[in-house]
Amino acid sequence: MQDRLAFADRIATAPISWGVCEVPGWGHQLSPDRVLGEMAALGFTKTELGSAGWLPPHPDQLRSLLDRHGLGLLASFVPLVLHDVATADAALAQATETAQLLTGLGARYFNTAPVTTVDWAPRRTYTEDEWQHLYEQLGRIDEICASHDLVQVVHEHIGCVVETEDDVRRVLDNTAVKLVLDTGHLAVGGFDPLDIANDFADRVGLVHLKDTRFDVAERLNANELSLMEAVQAGLFPALGEGQLPIGDIIATLEAKGFDGHYVIEQDCAITGDIPSPGDGPVRDVAISVAYLQQVGSTLSDGLAPSGGGNAPPAWS
């Protein structure tokens, strides 16, 4: 049996940490060369794909761009309409096309995000028949992913079909698929991510790390802020600067044998002036890298850090 990679070798990032987002109207998107260059400068070797159209659509061009920055592709966030019988064939065709792209580029994860409509209409109440169809579609996508040597992971997400604790438990109880343990989206949806780590570690396929400020989350859940407004108000600060026990979550998963990747995936949005190179979102990512260095240094002792650190932003 192959030994699992060391914790530091399972850290990746995602373009959303630089404001590159799939949600329509989500602010300015920095250029791929700038974002990928800043990722590489921080020591990352793996990234998620980012929103459709941000990177070159042709596999050879995409591979060349990633290679130029010394990066490999880890995963892609894939919004799909899965509860609607009328869109079943289209969703599976899209899943197959995306799986072919991902496996051709050496990715490992297919992050399924069930959405209400292709243009991200607001979440609503779903019937039991709609939920049943979603479960069945997730099973079919599992088969597609398995045939392409990918791991499907279902991404709970604010404003999507799988958002609240009840939604996540539905997926856990009615399917065999694995989850993205997204610390921030779970917390906002009312499901303690540490409980997931403790009780469902065997169902966690991938971890998205984002810290959370509860005061901003409360305003979001009270509909005082949109998701984008909440993000700009500091909903997801750098790791170690919010109120989630990120170190404890990681230590719990590691103790239970989790061998998947951790993605620094802090939703941010850029409006107004474009920050100069080396400034803007990269600063928070650097703080998060330093925090995870601290986590890595304490894992062997069964300890978890209480806050962020000021170590240089490169893997040790």
Residue 283 C-alpha from the chain's centroid: 19
User: Coil, strand, or helix at residue 11?
Assistant: strand
Cα 105 to Cα 12, 141, 262, 300, 306: the distances in Å are 16, 19, 19, 33, 37
pLDDT at residue 302, as a whole number: 57
Mean pLDDT on 5-20:
95
Sequence ranges of the domains in the chain: 7-299
Summarised one tens digit per residue, pLDDT across range 62-112 is 999 999 999 999 999 999 999 999 999 999 999 999 999 999 999 999 999
What is this structure's pTM?
Answer: 0.93
Counting every residue written for the chain, the total comes to: 316
Confidence of residue 310 (pLDDT cuts 50, 70, 90): very low
- For domain 7-299, the CATH architecture is Alpha-Beta Barrel (3.20)
Residue 34, pLDDT above cutoff 90 = yes
Alpha helices in 105-192 (DSSP H): 128-147, 165-174, 183-188
Distance CA 309, CA 293 (A): 9
How far is residue 175's CA from residue 257's CA, in Å, rounded to a whole number? 22
- DSSP letters, 229-262, are HHHHTTSS-STTSSSS-HHHHHHHHHHTT--S-E
Res 305 pLDDT > 70: no
Tell me the pLDDT tens digit for each residue of 116-157: 999 889 999 999 999 999 999 999 999 999 999 999 999 999
**In sequence order, which ranges of 3-127 are alpha helices (DSSP H)?**
32-41, 59-68, 88-104
Q: Distance (Å, rounded) from C-alpha 163 to C-alpha 155?
A: 9
Question: 291 Cβ partners below 8 Å, 6+ apart?
Answer: 238, 239, 240, 246, 305, 307, 308, 309
Distance of CA 90 to the CA centre of its chain: 24
Question: Residue 316: its pLDDT value, please?
Answer: 35
User: Is 50 exceeded by the pLDDT of residue 252?
Assistant: yes
pLDDT score recorded for residue 311? 34
Of 219 and 314, which is predicted with more confidence? 219
What is the spatial distance between Cα 73 and Cα 102, in angstroms, rounded to a whole number?
Answer: 8
Q: Are strands 109-114 and 72-80 parallel, antiparallel or unpaired?
A: parallel
Answer yes or no: is pLDDT of 26 > 90. no
At 27 the pLDDT is 83
The better pLDDT of the pair 25, 250 is held by: 250
The residue with tokens 């170190």 is 247
pLDDT(1) > 80: no
Rounded CA-CA distance 313/301 in Å is 23
Distances (CA, A) of 233 to 17, 229, 269: 15, 6, 10
The whole-number average pLDDT for the span 157-173 is: 97
Which run of H or of E encompasses 179? Answer: strand 178-182
Percentage of the chain lying above the pLDDT 70 cut: 94
Nearest to 241 by CA among 290, 191, 168, 179: 290
Question: Measuring CA to CA, which residue among 170, 161, 148 is closest to residue 118?
Answer: 161
Are the C-beta atoms of 139 and 133 separated by less than 8 Å?
A: no
Structural contact between residues 149 and 193, judged by C-beta atoms closer than 8 angstroms:
no
pLDDT at 301 over 80: no
SS3 content of the chain, % helix, strand, coil (to 5): 45, 15, 45
- Average pLDDT of the chain, as a whole number: 92
